[in-house]
Structure 1
Amino acid sequence: MRLLLTACATTALVVAQPLTATAAEQGPVGGALMTAKPTVVATGATPPAVQASSYVVADLETGEVLAAKAPHAKLRPASTLKTLTALVLLPRLKKSDQVIGTDGDAQIIGSKVGVSPGLKYTVNLLFEGMFLASGNDAVHALCMHDEGGVDATIQRMNAKAKEIGALDTHVTDPTGLDADGQFSSAYDLALFAQSGLARPDFAKYASTKFTNFPMTSKGTYQVANQNKLLFKYDGALGVKTGYTTLARNTFIGAARRNGHTLVVTMMNAPHGITEDASNLLTWSFKNYDRLSPVGTLVKPAEPPKEASGPSDGKPQAAGALPPARRTAAPELHTVNSLFVSTPVWFWAAPPVLLLGLFLRRPRRRRH
């Protein structure tokens, strides 16, 4: 009897908890076909073969994914991650601010645009150095100019990724250099491009072909955008390239033709990334009316409303993060609705009370 009552009480407590679907039951972000499997998914026409291990082609205006290959495979992003860095820093920094270069900027490893200790740079110029030359020194200078420095930027980047639905992404270095635990996906890179190109400043930096950067002593030198799509593809909007030894070539490119704005993202490509991107974009534009969407780019959830009323307009405190993305809970099964809406004590109380009626009282000890 004791075992039976104990089982009843335990069952009541367990059943009283809300039952929600697991991540596996919800399916991959963007649709059931958006998996990490190394297969190409397209409907309506066969896309050209490309060498990248993972890619996504999507309409940035409708959010429709037109073709994909292992879109959720978690891979090293290299400097394409700088698009997420820009999404965090652009709304926080004033473009006309002056930043003085430091030894920390100049000594950073990887690609550099030429930030020198003691020289003054505008935030605007550092963003140009970040987008065009993929300057890790420019990224470091921008992060250090923001509240909390590099560590706070990393935290904000991870929070921003969750906010826009880029759940494959985890950041440990805002420059995109190979680092333990740092990864993203072709799907997430498309989300970064969609959010970024919706900002006029991001779009301007992404499509700028040339800029002039100050030399250490006197004069300037010309910096060209590393994204060759800008120079070779009609209607190109640029965005960002990347390369490291472990990540190999990574790429985000967008173009506008025939009233459509498309993005192509690629990861882990050995070579020929500009040609492959061009072929995917041309195929997508040519077959646009024949293609059926195989997935969608998720939309960011609206941030929760503050109960305290309108914002006072004060700047965000150091280290403060934007609110995490709220994911709508899946609908519960009808059989569970009664349990979910009923307090736990309602189900737990009867078995507990009955337990006292059947338990034997301990016998009095004989002296």
Structure 2
Amino acid sequence: MTRGLLVLGVASAVLVLPSVATAAAPAAGQPVAAAQRTPITAAAGTANRPCPAPTPPVARPTRPAPPPLDPVHAAIGGADLATAGLVTPPDTAAPPRVSATSWLVADLDSGAVLGGCGPHEYGVPASVQKLLLAAAVMPRLDPAGVIEVTESDLDFEPGSSAVGLVEGGRYSVETLWLGLLLNSGNDAANVLARLGGGPDGLTGGVATMNSEARQLGAYQTHAATPSGLDGPGQYTSAYDVALIARACFARDDFRRYAATKIAQVPAQAANNTKGYPIWNDNQLLHRYPGALGGKTGYTDLARHSFVGAAQRNGRTLLVTLLGAEASPLAGWQQGAALLDWGFGLPSGASVGQLVARGQLNPQPPVPARAAGTAGVRPDDDQRSRPGGLLMAGSPVVVLGALALVLVRRVRRRRAGTGQPATGGDPHPDGSAPG
């Protein structure tokens, strides 16, 4: 990504958005009335503070040009966030030097943004996009449902991360979520997207992900694949990833999956496959006190991405980072350093706010699915997420048009061994995609 293309002169622009600094946010899922919208301007000096990064800079692959950065979208959550540089509370300690091109630290409970580097700059998600799949599809699926893996479910990039599902194998939906979040299984992502997409299958699952992103206010996010494997027009931002991760951590079932350190994939009659254990590849969970889990990611194009959450002294913080290198620190270590910095800030320090679901542009609900499909339930279990049923897409957001981009066909891979494929996420250096 060429960062120069994304630096906008927002310091003097007047932007109209829901005011998060001067007025209480409306209840989750409620529209922002016109009377509640107040002009906000970017604070002086925030656009010219460079992000702390290791030197010399690391050479990165050339990325396709992202969409133009809408100044309104760049200031979602507060005017101070409309910067390609560093934004931190005044009179606080400097954040650590990390190789991530963009990052954000927020309070998971209150939604207060504690600081960031280019929080609305476009980045490539890699497997942290699986959190959007979870946010969009987890409420639709019965974890006790059992499904059969099809040939098309195993159609994804060779050598990328997989949990080792076999064609004809029958797995519970819960096992699929564990395989997705512990082993970053691209095979599990395909199955879950197919189930969540209903009659439209995997393509419908990706469309559901994009609809969910808009409902969360993640207007800079567009998914082309359910797994986060690179696809045409696929982008996100550190701020958007934080919105998505916050929606995930609002669910008790997601928290339980994300905090699981080891799980068992059951034996299958198909191919006479034996059962085997899988381990959570998020080292933060294993090595950071108070860690709640999160998600790792890597592709050659995206580089390393990371999401992590942790509790300390009654506070729960979230960190998201995009475009990192594994040197001098691994992605999870960069996340840990930023969490330490966030926990060291005084209570109440903030530079912005994570908007509530539906706050910016609520839409009519999608009709509930009929019951009876294996592993799928009607959209009636929304107890642990605000805002009611999943919503339809927004006709007024320019980025929404990108939802028409078809999921690319990737090379076929048969995960017929019944063992998890070696891939980037299960390894500390994240050397392979997934």
TM-score (norm 1): 0.76
Q: Which residue of 2 is the match for residue 83 of structure 1?
A: 131
- What CA deviation, in whole Å up to 9, does each residue of 1:123-146 have, x standing for no partner? 110111001000010111122233
Q: Which residue of 1 is the match for residue 165 of structure 2?
A: 115
Q: Is the 8 A contact 2:306 2:321 kept in 1?
A: yes
How far apart are 1:280 and its partner, in Å? 1.0
Correspondence for 2:343 among 274, 285, 295: 285
How far apart are 1:214 and its partner, in Å? 3.2
Q: Which residue of 1 is the match for residue 319 of structure 2?
A: 264
Q: Go from structure 1 to structure 2 and tell me whether the alpha carbon gap of 1:36 and 1:104 turns closer, same or farther (over 3 Å shift).
A: farther
Q: Which residue of 2 is the match for residue 330 of structure 1?
A: none
Q: Which residue of 2 is the match for residue 106 of structure 1?
A: 154
Residue 39 (1) aligns with residue 39 (2): no
How far apart are 1:50 and its partner, in Å? 1.1
The amino acid across from 1:131 in the alignment is: L
Q: Is the 8 A contact 1:87 1:196 kept in 2?
A: yes
Q: Is the 8 A contact 2:136 2:390 kept in 1?
A: no
Correspondence for 2:176 among 126, 130, 138: 126
Q: Which residue of 2 is the match for residue 155 of structure 1?
A: 207
Equivalences, count: 302
The amino acid across from 1:294 in the alignment is: V
Describe the SS at the equivalent of 2:140: coil
TM-score (norm 2): 0.65
Q: Is the 8 A contact 2:215 2:363 kept in 1?
A: no
Q: Which residue of 2 is the match for residue 246 of structure 1?
A: 301
**Structure 1 residues not aligned, in runs of 5+:** 1-17, 328-367
Write the distance in 1 (CA, Å) between the matches of 2:117 and 2:354.
Answer: 15
How far apart are 1:221 and its partner, in Å? 1.2
Write the distance in 2 (CA, Å) between the matches of 1:131 and 1:283.
Answer: 26
Q: Is the 8 A contact 1:56 1:187 kept in 2?
A: yes
Residue 230 (1) aligns with residue 285 (2): yes
Q: Which residue of 2 is the match for residue 220 of structure 1?
A: 275
The amino acid across from 2:133 in the alignment is: T
- Larger-Rg structure: 1
How far apart are 1:314 and its partner, in Å? 5.2
Residue 73 (1) aligns with residue 104 (2): no
Write the distance in 1 (CA, Å) between the matches of 2:165 and 2:265.
Answer: 9
Write the distance in 2 (CA, Å) between the matches of 1:111 and 1:224.
Answer: 13
Q: Which residue of 1 is the match for residue 105 of structure 2?
A: 57
How far apart are 1:269 and its partner, in Å? 0.2
Describe the SS at the equivalent of 1:99: strand
Q: Which residue of 2 is the match for residue 13 of structure 1?
A: none
Residue 294 (1) aligns with residue 294 (2): no
Q: Go from structure 1 to structure 2 and tell me whether the alpha carbon gap of 1:223 and 1:33 turns closer, same or farther (over 3 Å shift).
A: same
Higher helix content, 1 or 2: 1
Q: Is the 8 A contact 1:301 1:326 kept in 2?
A: no
Q: Which residue of 1 is the match for residue 428 of structure 2?
A: none
Residue 322 (1) aligns with residue 391 (2): yes
Write the distance in 2 (CA, Å) between the matches of 1:222 and 1:26.
Answer: 43
Write the distance in 2 (CA, Å) between the matches of 1:26 and 1:277.
Answer: 25
**Structure 2 residues not aligned, in runs of 5+:** 1-33, 41-69, 372-377, 380-388, 397-434
Q: Is the 8 A contact 1:56 1:65 kept in 2?
A: yes
Q: Is the 8 A contact 1:42 1:68 kept in 2?
A: no
How far apart are 1:283 and its partner, in Å? 1.7
How far apart are 1:222 and its partner, in Å? 1.2
Q: Which residue of 2 is the match for residue 183 of structure 1?
A: 235
How far apart are 1:279 and its partner, in Å? 1.1
Describe the SS at the equivalent of 1:266: strand
Q: Go from structure 1 to structure 2 and tell me whether the alpha carbon gap of 1:29 and 1:96 turns closer, same or farther (over 3 Å shift).
A: same
Write the distance in 2 (CA, Å) between the matches of 1:280 and 1:55.
Answer: 9
- What CA deviation, in whole Å up to 9, does each residue of 1:246-280 have, x standing for no partner? 10100000001111110000000011212111111
Q: Go from structure 1 to structure 2 and tell me whether the alpha carbon gap of 1:305 and 1:83 turns closer, same or farther (over 3 Å shift).
A: closer
Q: Is the 8 A contact 2:154 2:190 kept in 1?
A: no
How far apart are 1:301 and its partner, in Å? 2.2
